[in-house]
Amino acid sequence: MYNYTDEFLTAFKYSGCQDEIIEGIFKYGDDIADVLTKHGDDAVRAISRYGDDAVELIAKHGDEAVRAISKYGEEGLTAIYYYGDQLVDLVRIHGDDAVEVITKYGDDALEAISKNIDPDLIKQLDDLGIKPSDYDNFRITGRESAEKVAKAVENAKYTRAILQEMPGFMDDMASVLDNVGMSIDRFNELMALPADLLSDADRAAMKAIRDAIPMPTEETIMQKVIPQGDIANYISGEYKGVGGHITKAQDVKQLKNYDDIYNSLRLDYVDSDFNPATDECVGVIRFKTPNASRIEIPYSQAMGGNAVGGPPFTGNGFTAATNGQAIPEFLCKNRVALKDGAELYMITKDGAEILVAVYNKVSARFVDILE
């Protein structure tokens, strides 16, 4: 028979889980009294909920196991089971944050911590949408690079998340089409055709739709897609400004990955530098320009303009997307300058958005966020 100490009796008297203690004594014997005395109510509740597994882990790892199980439940139990003394050591150094990140990310979090990326920094990056499995994409190799990435992403002004709050053409498309009495199906059909193949009535309707979209101003966030190989040229300063076909960033906010961008912008033109078979990503420049007045709608002669281009160029002001997207495009016949703070991203095949560099007007180039 267990000799119930005054310490146990006092703990039992003031315990908030007396029923669990009594149940535990019947199931596990008097050892449950030791658990209460040494580790408190949380340990008793953990054993009541998780049984033998909790008994074993608490006996082996003590208060650290109790904390992990009490705060994170079954995930904490699993973490302490798989990582044992390694997790216990990290908890002693970093506190509960170590349990949280290892519970959530397992081996990836352990690898990050081994590179001197503390759990608090892992959590900061996580809050910014950057998981430990993304660290290679962001070129995070240790604490210094992790801090630079966190600072850059935290200060970014043109992220996908920010663009989602802005209305794009596809958000307003139904009302715009209603104004000219055109169905979405009919619009999608006409949008993909070269303007010179449309009837006069259809051209007039398409022009009315396209002209209803406001022109960019100096405060409009624009987007230019560039081949993967050109990213380095912008960072080196060899390429300055942007030209050619561009879009409003808010009009393409729904394009999440490489294939979405490639197919919606019809980057499959003759002699294209984009290659879905070999590319790992596309580059995306999001920018404001002081030369907004030089941006025009790429109307062909059939629509009253003078823009020219081979297939899949339509000349009707929209890309020839056939994947359900409707993308109004704009044209810079000559390169336009970038305002300070333009952002250069990589968009990968699986949809990761990776901030690479930020434009510095003084140095007239995109500065790598790791510099």
What are the pLDDT digits (tens) for 121-147?
999 999 999 999 999 999 999 999 999
Residues 97 and 183 both lie in one domain: no
Q: Is residue 91, in this structure, part of any structural domain at all?
A: yes
224 pLDDT tier (thresholds 50, 70, 90): very high
Residues 277 and 303 both lie in one domain: yes
In the prediction, which pLDDT does 68 show? 74
Taking residues 12-19, report their average pLDDT.
61
Residues 230 and 313 both lie in one domain: yes
Q: Is residue 1, in this structure, part of any structural domain at all?
A: no
Q: What Å distances lie between residue 289 and 35, 159, 251, CA to CA?
A: 67, 17, 17
Burial-class residue 73 by CB neighbours within 10 Å (0-12, 13-18, 19+). middle
1 pLDDT tier (thresholds 50, 70, 90): very low
Q: Give the percent of the chain with pLDDT over 90.
A: 69
Q: Which residue has the higher pLDDT, 43 or 7?
A: 43
61-75, 164-178, 191-205: least confidently modelled range: 61-75
pLDDT digits (tens, 9 = 90+) for 48-66: 777 777 777 777 777 877 7
pLDDT digits (tens, 9 = 90+) for 62-96: 787 777 777 777 777 777 666 666 766 666 676 77
Q: Is residue 216, in this structure, part of any structural domain at all?
A: yes
Residues 166 and 286 both lie in one domain: yes
Task: Report the mean per-residue pLDDT for the chain.
Answer: 88
Residues 179 and 297 both lie in one domain: yes
Residue 168 clears pLDDT 60, i.e. is over it: yes
Residue 327 clears pLDDT 80, i.e. is over it: yes
pTM of the model: 0.80
Residues 266 and 195 both lie in one domain: yes
Q: Domain tally for the chain?
A: 2
- Decide: 363 and 237 in contact? Cβ < 8 Å: yes
In the prediction, which pLDDT does 20 show? 66
Q: How far apart are CA 59 and CA 80, in angstroms?
A: 12
DSSP-derived secondary structure for 253-284? TT--SHHHHHHHTT---TT-S--TTT-SEEEE
Residues 29 and 90 both lie in one domain: yes
In the prediction, which pLDDT does 3 show? 53
Q: How far apart are CA 73 and CA 199, in angstroms?
A: 67
Radius of gyration of the chain (CA): 30
Q: How far apart are CA 144 and CA 264, in angstroms?
A: 38
Residues 14 and 105 both lie in one domain: yes
- Measured at the CA of 151, the angle between CA 147 and CA 155, to 5 degrees, comes to 170
Q: Is residue 166, in this structure, part of any structural domain at all?
A: yes
Residues 131 and 165 both lie in one domain: no
Q: How far apart are CA 50 and CA 64, in angstroms?
A: 16
38-42, 289-293, 336-340: least confidently modelled range: 38-42
Last residue of a domain, one of 153, 186, 220: 153
Q: How far apart are CA 72 and CA 103, in angstroms?
A: 8
- Which strand (E) or helix (H) includes residue 197? none
